[in-house]
Amino acid sequence: MPTGVAMRDAREQLFDAAERVLLREGPEALTSRAVTTEAGCAKGLLHKHFTDFDGFLAELVLDRIRRLDDQSEALLKAAGQGSVVENLTAMLTDLFGSVAVAIVSLTISRDGLRARLREAVPVGVPILTEAGQALRDYLSAEQTYGRIPADADVDVLGLTLIGTAHLLFADRTGTRPTTADVRAFVSSTLPR
């Protein structure tokens, strides 16, 4: 690997490389060597920016959680507009069409990573916990517009939506659910 070559935004390039490896080969293939090879840089670059590989992975997960904030904000702004089913379908399809499912698998498979993430995300599974909260916030907002019944338990509904979507998308090597599949389960889950 080349050395002495300046990389712009090395952290982001390393994160993107880790995502590509994770999506293509799964969490078991994610090593510091695989990441730096994918990024086209010397292995030492990763250790220059991060204390160790679990530290790198923790920062990757936290960065992707921060990116989820933009999706959460967009979903909340959609409250009262369009179709509730379509808004939820779009959010769930975007979320699980990304690296989220692979990050859940990665987090579950690495004890050191989970331990580090517990400092920032003390409860639940990182990414799923934040996405579930975004859904609950959106459903609560829709209740204020009368588009979700006032007596609907948005906590249970949000967890049902996030859990079911995760199960639909969990097999990274199988056939991915279509938008129509996601729409069908969202539609059947929402109270009338």
- pLDDT tens for 77-110 read 999 999 999 999 999 998 887 788 888 888 888 8
Higher pLDDT, 119 or 184: 184
- Whether the model pTM is above 0.85: no
Per-residue pLDDT, 111: 87
Domain with CATH 1.10.357 in the chain: 62-189
Determine how many CB atoms are found less than 10 A away from the CB of residue 171.
11
The CATH fold of domain 1-49: Arc Repressor Mutant, subunit A (1.10.10)
Tell me how far the alpha carbon of residue 126 is from its chain's centroid: 8
- Where does the chain hold its CATH 1.10.10.60 domain(s)? 1-49
Nearest alpha carbon to residue 39 among 65, 60, 68, 70? 60
What architecture does CATH give domain 62-189? Orthogonal Bundle (1.10)
Query: What per-residue confidence (pLDDT) applies to 4?
Result: 45
Q: CB-side exposure of 159: number of CA atoms within 13 Å?
A: 6
* Contact of 120 with 57, CB cutoff 8 Å: no
